[in-house]
Amino acid sequence: MIRWSTSWYPLIACQLRPLFLIKDLKMKVESGESRIHGTGLFSKDTIEEGELVRVFEGTAADENDIHVLWYEEDDLWKGLSAHNELNFANHSKSPNVEVIGREMCALDET
């Protein structure tokens, strides 16, 4: 199960790669029934530490909602109403991914 936290842990940056590779990123996660809470996010393949899992996609949002991701870009806080499977990542006190901007990155091998 993909678990993430918005707490400030020591950040590791996703492995740097050209933008065209991010757009063509192989889908390594999928949503499915969770034993913990409704729907969860699960890995389909091994995801290496520091690897980019997926990029949040969606539309700009001005108000908070359950699926709004708030991230900092150009010294401004922006809201993104997310419209992909990353909505289903569960919060955790022991996360295995972190969110940096709009990118979800693996903290350890998943």
36-68 confidence digits (pLDDT tens): 778 888 888 888 888 888 888 899 999 998 888
pTM: 0.71
- What per-residue confidence (pLDDT) applies to 19? 44
Looking at per-residue confidence, does 109 or 76 come out higher? Answer: 76
- What per-residue confidence (pLDDT) applies to 79? 93
Q: Which of 35-39, 68-72, 81-85 has the lowest mean pLDDT?
A: 35-39
Count of C-beta atoms within a 10 Å radius of residue 50: 14
* Domains located in the chain, CATH noted: 3-106 (2.170.270)
23 phi and psi angles, rounded to 5 deg: -65, -30
